[in-house]
């Protein structure tokens, strides 16, 4: 029996609870991003409002999962990787959910009825990043497919760069062509929240890259 096998024998089985919780949280973010894409591509304002409400419910579910991770972190002395990384990853995933919800809330509260192409593009990019985030999180269980995690993180970074460009171009166009100052403010707020969601995906990717380095 190897030294690692002996060590694993004494590791509390409860630590394995972290992986299902992370996977559920990442899957929940993908579900939120999917609903967001559906909302911004709907031409029916009433349907959009219903979808925004779905996002609210999913965000509450994500909060519960994050809270469970924090509780498990307090209960378990031995963890599958650094406690700081567990906390940082849970927080980053929760932040993605928060900004997806924030985007939907802004569009609802500000009564943004004209869904522009940049808004749709940013929603698509959030879904792409969230999908890769979920793929990477699912590989954390045994860290055997390190290349898959790294590739997903690289794609997330690329998506975030694309989102930066879409955001900058959209805001520049607002300042150049939109004469209604109130509309400029509303749309800039929505675009900023959407772009920040991709930033949070990148933060989660950075945490996973840190985990890879520490467990290499």
The CATH number of the domain holding residue 180 is 1.20.58.220
Alpha carbon of 131 to those of 72, 74, 86: distances in Å? 25, 29, 20
> For residue 15, what pLDDT is reported?
52
- Is residue 1 domain-resident? no
What is the reported pTM? 0.90
- Is residue 169 domain-resident? yes
- Is residue 4 domain-resident? no
Count of structural domains, the chain: 1
- Is residue 199 domain-resident? yes
Per residue in 49-73, pLDDT (tens digit) is 999 999 999 999 999 999 999 998 8
> For residue 196, what pLDDT is reported?
97
Instruction: Give the span between the Cα atoms of 86 and 135, in whole angstroms.
Output: 17
Whether pLDDT at 132 is above 50: yes
Mean pLDDT for 121-150 is: 92
Mean pLDDT for 197-216 is: 91
How many residues are there in the chain? 216
> For residue 2, what pLDDT is reported?
46
Which domain covers residue 115, as residue numbers?
13-214
| Element at 33 (helix H, strand E) | helix 18-40
**Alpha-carbon torsion, ordered 202, 40, 51, 99, to 10 deg:** 30
């Amino acid at each position: 029996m190897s030294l690692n096998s002996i060590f694993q024998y004494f590791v509390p089985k409860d630590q394995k609870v972290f992986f299902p919780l992370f996977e559920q949280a990442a899957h929940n973010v993908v579900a939120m991003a999917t609903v967001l894409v559906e909302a911004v591509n709907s031409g029916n304002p009433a349907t959009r409002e219903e979808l925004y409400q779905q996002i609210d419910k999913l965000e509450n579910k994500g909060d519960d999962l994050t809270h469970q991770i924090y509780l498990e972190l307090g209960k378990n002395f031995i963890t599958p990787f650094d406690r700081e990384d567990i906390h940082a990853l849970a927080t980053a995933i929760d932040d993605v959910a928060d900004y997806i919800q924030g985007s939907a809330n802004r569009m609802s509260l500000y009564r943004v009825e004209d869904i522009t192409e940049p808004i749709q593009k940013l929603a698509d990019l959030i879904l792409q990043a969230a999908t890769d985030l979920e793929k990477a999180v699912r590989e954390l269980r045994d860290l055997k497919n390190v290349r898959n995690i790294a590739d997903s993180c690289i794609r997330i970074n690329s998506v975030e760069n694309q989102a930066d460009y879409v955001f900058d171009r959209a805001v520049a166009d607002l300042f150049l062509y939109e004469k209604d100052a109130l509309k400029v403010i509303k749309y800039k707020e929505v675009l900023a929240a959407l772009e920040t969601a991709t930033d949070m995906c990148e933060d989660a990717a950075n945490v996973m890259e840190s985990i890879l380095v520490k467990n290499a």
